[in-house]
Chain A
Amino acid sequence: MVEGRDSILGRVREALGRPAQPDRGEDGLQGPARPRVYARPDFGGDPLDRFAEKLTAAAGTLVRIEAPDGVPAAVATYLGERNLPARMAIAPALRDLPWPESWEVRFGASAGGDRVGVTPCFAAVAETGTLVLLSGPETPTTLNFLPDHHLVVVRASQVVGYLEAVWEGLRDLPNGVPRTVNLITGPSRTADVEQTLQLGAHGPLGLHVILQMHGG
């Protein structure tokens, strides 16, 4: 495939009027300089309220709880309202929460048969009501897409104003950017049949945020 590479890069350099083998030492970029900080939608007020408002506008739902030990009760309420059984796949990262003995819970990835998945997140973005989830052994990606209902635990301290803050956080991770970064804004949807919005196309038809106001 070396020929293809040389051919494309050669043609690109020719089009740009550069030498075929540019001098590696010289590092200056050509053309217009791109912005360092981009214009973005301005918003005021409490980021938590903005996050809740935008998430709801994208057909997600949200409940606020005080501390991490309230998560199982919040999950139980969601299941009860939708008549769902207490059977679910949970991200291993949430293993230590006080899950009831009577529930049928499994910690790990999803293979497609789960109705409910529960995961943490890396961050949440107030600008657009977006959740940021990273892949990893403790947080498998399949949990975000295969279950019919995706429940996400968000700590209030994880809510940032804009995506740019998330990127800075990602760069600080010891292993850098993981295999998958999912930005999730509401449940799965399609408008491919007559432009009519329908939730639950291939991914979850329900996206529920459990917003934990205090505690680590």
Chain B
Amino acid sequence: MAAASLFRQRAAAALADPTLQAALARAQDGFVAKRARALGALPELERMREEACTLKDHVLANLDRYLESYEAQVVRRGGQVHWAPTREDACRIVIEICQRAGARLIAKGKSMVSEEIGLNAALEGAGLEVIETDLGEYIVQLAKERPSHIIAPAVHKTREQIAELFQRHHGYRERLTGVAELVADARMVLRERFLSADVGITGANFLVAETGSNVIVTNEGNGDLTCTLPRVHIVTAGIEKVVPTLEDATALIRLLGRSATGQEMTSYTTFSSGPRRADDRDGPQEYHVVLVDNGRSEMLGNRFRPMLRCIRCGACLNHCPIYAAVGGHAYGAIYPGPMGSVLTPILFPGGTDADLPNVCTFNGRCQQVCPVKIPLPDLLREHREIQYQRGITPPRQRWALALWGALVRHPRLYQILTRWVVGALGLAGRRQGSFRYLPFLGNWTAGRDFPAPQGPTFQAIWRKQERTRRNG
């Protein structure tokens, strides 16, 4: 159970870190407000969500066919498709492509799959230099950290911390202070790297079977420089990213930007299909796609299939009270927040923090805001059930659950017991109105008082009311 306490340790540290708390508060407010503004003015929203959900379910039910037709279209346009069952396979394939191309410097656009497979460490281990070009990812790379949010990797960093990183790594005597200066500085430093990179690696928000295209949805333009300037373009993508046609991609694009950043369209949405054509004046000479499974085919066959609808918008993170309180790093996983707590135990079955499915209040906000209607609370409950069956749930919790289960199966006993306990507590707490400490509820009363019950139990009131109604 050593892993189980890690979330709690990290969460406690995060709660006690005022800099992090300030950064989180700012981000949460911004994301929630922007999404609400973009979706408030959209009467078609519910139908769009419903249809997006149907589309994804349709693709998943026919995933083998769409993957095959996608592959055929990529090949027809002169590209190559590589299939990676595991993380290790994916890294090996990318390294081999880079080595065959005689590459030294790799420019990367933002890709959560590349984080998932641990690509940067693998490339560096093979003696290649890797530079992240999304500003947030670049900041996180300089800080030798992981992204703390799937669409805003450096959301946990303040301007001062970023300024300090740039000063140290770019070798300046003076420290930059303004946001505009910092962005201009990164632009200048990274522009030079773009122009000298041999290979560009991007992710894919969608893969279009009809045209063999990968779609990237971005705001900075770094993804476009990454897939246009270097000699070789490599796309890393999960197998669930495929959609049948351009219209299907469009339906999801309409939801993605709105859900993620409150934008109807991001600055850049780019469809790349194959290498440069015969007469083109720019574009890469080689185009490779690495399709990553890493647990996805397993999810397709079990109760977690709905999770494969996820389009990685981050709305569930932005609306989660737990994420808002502790930030992404506390999860100790590549994918944080509600979607991460569902994915992590499946994608990383070995070293997973057993607490992840349990750090959820089931308030249901994530499901309400999910553009593809993933029942995230239900899936987290599934994980808890699996933990219980496998004996991962701690003994004290198991006893408590067993006791609770026995009680609710015997309503008469339950009523007598609750009436007695509530009566006793009400009597004992009459003077103070609340308890500063209660046995068995130490964790609760450590942070707040427990209010003393006022009057009889709900069931008692209900019965009395029913009696009065029948008699009256």
Q: Name A's B-contacting residues (CB within 8 A).
A: 1, 4-5, 7-9, 11-16, 18, 22, 29-35, 37-42, 54, 58, 108-109, 111-112, 127-130, 135-137, 140-142, 144-146, 163-164, 167, 170, 175-196, 198, 200-204
Contacts and interface: CB of A to CB of B under 8 A. Distances in A.
Contacts of B134: 192
B182 A193 contact: yes
B297 A164 contact: no
A54 B64 contact: no
A61 to B, nearest CB: 14
Nearest to B109: A202
Given A13-B64, A14-B301, A192-B134, A39 B48 contact: yes
Interface of B: 23, 26-27, 30, 42-44, 47-48, 51, 54-55, 57-65, 67-68, 77, 82-85, 89, 93, 133-136, 139, 152-155, 158-159, 162, 179-180, 182-184, 186-187, 190-191, 194-195, 211, 213, 219-222, 224-225, 227-229, 239, 244-248, 250-251, 254, 261, 263-277, 279-283, 291, 293, 297-298, 300-302
Interface centre among B48, B183, B245 (most CB of A within 10 A): B183
B257 to A, nearest CB: 9
Nearest to B273: A177
Nearest to B264: A128
A181 B221 CA distance: 14
Nearest to A143: B282
Most B CB within 10 A of own CB, among A34, A136, A178, A192: A192
Given A4-B82, A195-B30, A202-B190, A12 B67 contact: yes
Contact of A180 (B23, B246, B271): B271
Given A135-B277, A145-B225, A177-B211, 19 more contacts: A1-B83, A5-B83, A14-B301, A18-B64, A30-B61, A34-B51, A38-B48, A39-B48, A135-B276, A177-B213, A177-B271, A179-B283, A181-B213, A193-B183, A194-B23, A201-B135, A201-B186, A202-B190, A202-B191
Nearest to A39: B47
Given A142-B228, A145-B225, A130 B265 contact: yes
B187 A201 contact: yes
A7 B239 CA distance: 13
Contacts of A179: 77, 272-277, 280, 283
B220 A203 contact: yes
A145 B266 CA distance: 15
B67 A31 contact: no
19 contacts: A8-B84, A8-B297, A15-B301, A29-B65, A40-B254, A41-B42, A111-B195, A141-B282, A142-B228, A142-B282, A163-B250, A167-B245, A180-B227, A180-B273, A182-B224, A192-B152, A195-B27, A202-B194, A203-B267
**Chain A contact residues, majority secondary structure:** loop
Contacts of B48: 38-40
A194 B159 contact: yes
Contacts of A141: 224, 228, 282-283
A189 B187 CA distance: 11
Given A179-B277, A190-B135, A202 B221 contact: yes
B280 A183 contact: no
B135 A58 contact: no
A190 B187 CA distance: 11
Which 4 A-B pairs have CB atoms at the shortest separation, nearest pair first? A203-B221, A31-B61, A15-B301, A4-B83
